[in-house]
Amino acid sequence: MDLLLNPTRDAAETLDTARATEPLEYVRFRQRNLSEGEAFADNSGDLELCLVLLSGKATIHCGDNTFEAIGERMNVFEQVPPYAVYLPNDMDYRIEALTDVELGICGAPGHGTHAPRLISPDQIKQTTRGEGANVRHVHDILPETEAADSLLVVEVYTPAGNWSSYPPHKHDEDNLPQESFLEESYYHRLNPSQGFGFHRVYTDDRLIDETMAFGDGSCVLVPRGYHPVGAPYGFDLYYLNVMAGPKREWKFTTDPDFAWLVK
């Protein structure tokens, strides 16, 4: 199973999980680069979207709404929360780049029950999880406490030498309240960019057991299974997560072999 997508460096749209050998059913992630003065227009189709300004400043038009000159950080590793825009399905939108822009287009099945809205940095909860070499810093861009049909979006900073999505956990069984079924994608960035990280995806029965060395701008798909991530010494790691499934709730199970690490 091919779970690693590498970026197409010479294209405006460097990633689209729909082009994977085995695309995810609920989650779609696209990454686009826009040069200053460039515009991009599209329709959300049957997906609700969260447009995340990973870096740069832009004006976003959607329906009767215009969000003027949004965006503050010029690099994801500034480690401040981003601006984002939520869009329901079947909506035209247009993005005008006021600077060079890196855009994450996060999608999941939509039912048209929510209006477009701006998600500003002051609305995004910031937390730190773990301890020691398991510390990472989290920005909840579109958590389950905020309105959406099926989409969950979060970004995570993992310091050099640390582990993330660790201890290994999974959310691939629809048996709430114990566990929910959520697919997931990880869009990875590294600082410095010439480095690499490790991502393992595995199931209890080992029908999936893939360990991947990813580079800056790569995307890892998690259809099911445990999915820990490691950042080598000397290279800070950023990733943008998209999660979605039949129910919009995040409940996970820790790998029993690692349960002794959970306090």
Residues of the domain holding 14: 4-261
| Residues 87-112: tens digit of each pLDDT | 999 999 999 999 999 999 999 999 98
Considering its fold, how many domains does the chain have in total? 1
Which of 216-246 are b and which e, b meaning 16 or more Cβ less than 10 Å from the residue's Cβ? bbbbbbbbbbbbbbbbeeebbbbbbbbbbbe
Distant-in-sequence contacts of 67-76, Cβ < 8 A, 24+ apart: 67/118, 69/98, 70/118, 70/120, 71/98, 71/99, 71/101, 72/121, 74/99, 76/102, 76/155, 76/189, 76/238
Per-residue pLDDT of the chain (263 residues; tens, 9 = 90+): 799 999 987 788 889 999 999 999 999 999 999 999 999 999 999 999 999 999 999 999 999 999 999 999 999 999 999 999 999 999 999 999 999 999 999 999 999 889 999 999 999 999 999 999 999 999 999 999 999 999 999 999 999 999 999 999 999 999 999 999 999 999 999 999 999 999 999 999 999 999 999 999 999 999 999 999 999 999 999 999 999 999 999 999 999 999 999 87
Q: What is the CATH number of the domain that holds 195?
A: 2.60.120.10
Q: Which helix (H) or strand (E) holds 74?
A: none
| Residues 230-242: tens digit of each pLDDT | 999 999 999 999 9
